[in-house]
Amino acid sequence: MTDHRTPDLSTLLGRYRMLRLIRGFEELALTLVKSGAIVGGTHPYIGQEAVAVGVCAALRPQDRITSTHRGHGHVLAKGAEPRRLLAELTGRVGGLNQGRGGSMHAADLSLGILGANGIVGAGAPIAVGAAWAARQAAEDRVVVTFFGDGALNQGVLLESLNLAAMWRLPVLFVCEDNGYATTLPAEVAVAGSALGRAAAFGIPAAEVDGMDTEAVLAAAGAAVDRARAGQGPGFLRCRTYRYQGHHTMERRMKVNYRSAEEVDAWRARDPLPRAAALLDRAERADCDRELAELLAEAEQFALASEHPDPAGACDHLYASGLRPRAGAVA
């Protein structure tokens, strides 16, 4: 089985491999959306890979994350099996969540992935709570919460920054600023600045090039070390960009809110060639070949996995085993 191995993000090659895996996974997902194998579409992460890889490279297996509706990159970088994530996107029994969560709710608790989240900013207090619980239990765990620039205006994020700072909790707030909250540009939405949000609560904050994996890793590493040492939360603003639309539906809707020149300018700063340039060519070619095989196998696995039985549509609704009454009685 070549499908999966625990990602080793400690080396340049390992980080390149993960960037490439996320990119390839997202491209594959786009084709499956087009073919109809993925229903409901996805929020493509293409372009933002350096953030997930750089941040997760600073983490240990016991550390935890909360993610966003654009979460595939975070989930893969934290170690989720690509084929099981893909099976989740296609709504199959073999998926991470047995087809109950889909793209926006992918989770793997065994890996500390407390869930992608369909609600902007909702992961922040969950991360704060997980960090609080880890400290209560004297466990050495740092929690990262990823969120976009849209979440900068959610009250719950600001409340969470306050709690994390007051209680000096080991939380890293990672603002993945891709410039748009769906179609609304950050420059007409965010008063003050992202870093100013953190500064208001006395949280050390850094600005980092979100297209540069090594730069993200360096900044995240410093913040994670501080958090681990009991010095409280940190905040990173990673300036990045999504090459695709907010959601795969966008193209069909023919919405247009950004220029081709803007997209091209960001594509010119693609994190992949930058990471590739740090490796030797043969190493890279081997890695690319291996990933192509892995993704082909993931696709096969996902499409061969069974569709869930409708009779079990309410399975897992309650952990206590409570069964709900039927919605319609014949």
Partner 1 sequence: MSMLSYTKALNRALTDALAADPSVCVFGEDIGAGLAGPTLGLQRRFGADRVVDTPLSEQAFTGMAVGAALAGRRPVIEFQIPSLLFLVFEQLVNQAHKFSLMTGGQGSVPLVCLVPGSGSRDGWAGQHSDHPYSLFAHAGVKTLVPATPTDAYGLLAAAIRDPDPVVVFAPAAALGVREDVTWELAPIPIGSARVHRAGTDVTVVAVGHLVHDALAVAEELAEEISVEVFDPRTLHPFDWTALAASLERTGRLVVVDDSNRSCGIGAEVVATAAEEMRLLAPPRRITRPDGAVLPFAPALDRSLQPSRDQLRHAIRTVVK
As measured in angstroms, the least distance from the Cβ of 164 to partner 1 is: 9
Q: How far is CA 299 from CA 31, 232, 271, 284, in A?
A: 11, 42, 25, 22
Q: Which stretch binds partner 1 (CB under 8 A): 35-43, 54-62, 118-126, 195-203?
A: 118-126
Instruction: Give the residue among 288, 293, 268, 208 at the shortest CA–CA distance from 47.
Output: 268
Number of residues that this document lists for the chain: 330
Tokens of 242: 């999504």
Choose, by CB under 8 A, the member of 59, 114, 219, 227 that binds partner 1.
Answer: 114
Choose, by CB under 8 A, the member of 4, 14, 27, 129 that binds partner 1.
Answer: 129
Is residue 14 a contact residue for partner 1 (CB under 8 A)?
Answer: no
Is residue 324 a contact residue for partner 1 (CB under 8 A)?
Answer: yes
Strand segments, DSSP code E, in the chain are: 64-66, 143-148, 171-177, 180-181, 184-185, 205-209, 234-239
Is residue 98 a contact residue for partner 1 (CB under 8 A)?
Answer: yes
Is residue 306 a contact residue for partner 1 (CB under 8 A)?
Answer: no
Q: How far is CA 31 from CA 25, 26, 90, 166, in A?
A: 10, 9, 12, 46
CA dihedral 114, 118, 119, 124 (to 10 degrees): 20
Is residue 39 a contact residue for partner 1 (CB under 8 A)?
Answer: no
Q: Residues 49-88 vs partner 1: string with x where CB under 8 A?
A: ---------------x-x----------------------
* Torsion sign over Cα 179, 63, 160, 205: negative
Is residue 136 a contact residue for partner 1 (CB under 8 A)?
Answer: yes
Q: Which stretch binds partner 1 (CB under 8 A): 8-16, 236-244, 254-262, 312-320?
A: 312-320
List of residues 6+ apart from 55 with CB closer than 8 A? 74, 77, 144, 146, 172, 174, 216, 217, 220, 236
Choose, by CB under 8 A, the member of 5, 8, 62, 109 that binds partner 1.
Answer: 109
Q: How far is the C-alpha of 231 from the C-alpha of 262, rounded, in Å?
A: 39
Strand segments, DSSP code E, in 164-320 are: 171-177, 180-181, 184-185, 205-209, 234-239
Is residue 320 a contact residue for partner 1 (CB under 8 A)?
Answer: yes
Is residue 285 a contact residue for partner 1 (CB under 8 A)?
Answer: no
Query: What three-state secondary structure class fits 237?
Result: strand
As measured in angstroms, the least distance from the Cβ of 305 to partner 1 is: 13
Q: Which stretch binds partner 1 (CB under 8 A): 126-134, 178-186, 226-234, 243-251?
A: 126-134
Q: How far is the C-alpha of 166 from the C-alpha of 169, rounded, in Å?
A: 8
Is residue 134 a contact residue for partner 1 (CB under 8 A)?
Answer: yes
Is residue 179 a contact residue for partner 1 (CB under 8 A)?
Answer: no
As measured in angstroms, the least distance from the Cβ of 90 to partner 1 is: 14
Is residue 100 a contact residue for partner 1 (CB under 8 A)?
Answer: yes
Choose, by CB under 8 A, the member of 3, 27, 159, 288 that binds partner 1.
Answer: 159
As measured in angstroms, the least distance from the Cβ of 80 to partner 1 is: 12
Is residue 153 a contact residue for partner 1 (CB under 8 A)?
Answer: no
Instruction: Give the residue among 66, 74, 58 at the shortest CA–CA distance from 216.
Output: 58
Instruction: Give the residue among 79, 76, 60, 113 at the shortest CA–CA distance from 225.
Output: 60
Is residue 299 a contact residue for partner 1 (CB under 8 A)?
Answer: no
Q: How far is the C-alpha of 172 from the C-alpha of 106, rounded, in Å?
A: 20
Cross-strand bridge partners of residue 109? none
Q: Which stretch binds partner 1 (CB under 8 A): 19-27, 70-78, 120-128, 271-279?
A: 120-128
Binding region for partner 1 (CB under 8 A): 64, 66, 95-101, 105, 107-110, 114-115, 117, 119, 122, 124-134, 136-137, 143, 155-156, 159-160, 162-163, 166, 314-320, 322, 324-325, 329
